[in-house]
Amino acid sequence: MKHLTIIVPEGTGNNLSSIVGAYKIFTRANEYRKQQGEQPLFKIELAGISEDVDFYDGLFTVHPHKNISSIKKTNLIIIPSLNHNYMETVKHNEPLIDWLVKHYKDGAEIATICTGAFLLAPSGLLDGKSCSTHWAAADNFRNMFPEVHLQTDKLITDEQGIYTDL
């Protein structure tokens, strides 16, 4: 069974729908497998650096299953999209940056959803690699991370176990 970690970033710049959406898609895949009499494919865990992350001024709260520090091995890390305030979100999640690098070096693959690339790029893991992000954020991304090869004409990039999409 593959271990799947969906990141729940700290801060106000997070997009709740991409966290919930990713969780639902992989959970549904596991449910389908069970209905077919087969074993689930994924152990899915939400992980972050806080016990609770509030969205929309406290209207919604996500309680990650685990703190990132307790995850010793994972196969795939999904970074959700962010709502603007990119550098503020990065500042609130600095421990996450080193954690991403460690797990990538240990063999984990990493996928970003839309503007989630803004949270991965400061790690240096995208340096010299192709990357895509939302078209409305492309100029901002290029200015912040000139060492990354932004591909605005690609829906998805796949390079050395790192996947990005717009």
Question: 144: domain range?
Answer: 2-165
Q: How many domains does one find in the chain?
A: 1
pTM of the model as a whole: 0.93
Task: Tell me the CATH number at 22.
Answer: 3.40.50.880
152 or 104, higher pLDDT: 104
Give the three-class secondary structure for 130.
strand
pLDDT band at 15 (very low <50, low <70, confident <90, very high): confident
CB 133 within 8 A of CB 117: yes
pLDDT band at 40 (very low <50, low <70, confident <90, very high): very high
pLDDT value, residue 11: 78
